[in-house]
Amino acid sequence: MDDSRQAHGLVQWHGTTIIGVKKGGKTVIAGDGQVSMGNTVMKPNARKVRRIGEGGTVIAGFAGATADAFTLFERLEKKLEQHRGQLMRAAVEMAKDWRTDKYLRNLEALMIVADREVMLVLTGNGDVLEPEGGVAAIGSGGNYALSAARALDSYEDDAEKIARAAMAVAAEVCVFTNDRVTVETI
């Protein structure tokens, strides 16, 4: 990423919070609804978490440029079709494409994706990461949400309660995160 784009505020992939929590046989991905451009809130109720795949068997959340994220959702859905719903295989194949394809390589987004078996973080560097401890977070408020979720993990057994509480903490601390949360559960 070139420094001039960063210096002029053109890089917007950091402006959100998405958290994934896998606990007690339940996986939750939650995300805020704020779309920011620089210091301006452009939209407070965006839907950054959604179900994908045949029958909605995969949940996904994104941090990054919206158009880029929709491109990645579509690509992942195609990979899921090609690999008969096997999320790990589809994610690895998409990550390969993301890293090597000239068009995809320029997309600025991160994703957390999950099905009943696995939760993964996907990056444009070709990374497919399975988070340790069943908690992952991305975006500008990701570290706040991740810290809150890890602190709550010992005291709370419900994945959705952990995700919602972690998002509330991130919304209080991160100016690019709001409290209009979308939650999807598998």
Q: Does an H or E element contain 15, and which?
A: none
| CA 76 – CA 70 distance, rounded (Å) | 10
| CA 24 – CA 44 distance, rounded (Å) | 32
100 catalytic? Reply is no
Bridge partners of 62, per DSSP, are 111
| CA 93 – CA 5 distance, rounded (Å) | 29
Residue 185 assigned to a binding site: no
Q: Do residues 185 and 160 make contact, with C-beta atoms less than 8 angstroms apart?
A: yes
Residue 137 assigned to a binding site: no
Which one from 16, 17, 27, 182 is the annotated catalytic residue? Answer: 16
Q: Do residues 72 and 98 make contact, with C-beta atoms less than 8 angstroms apart?
A: yes
Residue 90 assigned to a binding site: no
Q: Which residues are catalytic?
A: 16
Residues placed in the known binding site: 171, 174, 177
Q: Mark the binding-site residues for Na(+), compressed into ranges.
A: 171, 174, 177
